[in-house]
Structure 1
Amino acid sequence: MRKVYVLIKCELGRAYEVAEKLGWLERGPEVDSISGEHDLIARLYLEHDEDIGRVIANEIHAVPGIKDTQTLICFKAFSKDEGPKAE
């Protein structure tokens, strides 16, 4: 699985409405409201052979109230369990 984050700018006053609609998508991304340049961040898990552009265009961009998105593709996760081994 590939982890993808989508930063989302919403039309004024519609961030909560957009977040709720995103949460009800079949894929059900995890959505958080954030501060700064974007209003929301959504985390998706995609199969390696899935077309990211089609998922974003057909599922995310289809939600009314979204003004702009920026997609971030994760290459490798680093965590305590997956980090370098001590010798």
Structure 2
Amino acid sequence: MQTIFVQVKCELGLAYQVADEAVDIEQVSEVHSISGQYDLMVKCYLDDSADIGQFVVDTIQRLPGVKDTFTLIAFKAFS
């Protein structure tokens, strides 16, 4: 399983709508509103064979109201 975090910049006034759409995506486990350059942080779990770039381009970037994304690939979770 691959874990990625996608920071999403939304069109003005659409962050909550984008978040509502994103939580319905099967691979998305959490969506948080954040401060700073981006509006949302989306945590996703992808199959090991999944193409991360293709997922982001075809699934996250195509959500209505998404203006820009920045993807982080996680390697190891610590507890």
- Pick the TM interval, shorter chain: over 0.9
Unaligned stretches of 5+ residues in structure 2: none
TM-score, with length taken from structure 2: 0.93
User: What's the CA shift for 1:14?
Assistant: 0.4
- Specify the alignment match of 1:59 in structure 2: 59
Structure 1: distance between partners of 2:45 and 2:25: 13
TM-score, scaled to structure 1:
0.85
CA RMSD between the two structures: 1.0
Unaligned residue ranges in structure 1 (runs of 5+): 80-87
**What is the aligned-residue identity percentage?**
49
Task: Kindly report structure 1 stretches of 4+ aligned residues shifted beyond 4 Å.
Answer: none
Q: Does the 8 Å CA contact 1:22/1:29 hold for their aligned counterparts? A: no
Q: What is the distance in 2 between the residues matched to 1:41 and 1:27?
A: 14
State the alpha-carbon separation in 1 of the partners of residues 49 and 4 from structure 2. 13
Post-superposition CA distance 1:18-75 (Å, at most 9, x none): 0001112233441110111110000000111110011101110110100000000001
Deviation of 1:2 after TM superposition, in Å, equals 1.1
Larger gyration radius, structure 1 or structure 2: 1
Deviates more, 1:17-26 or 1:1-10: 17-26
Aligned twin of 2:4: 4
CA contact (8 A) 1:22 1:31 kept: yes
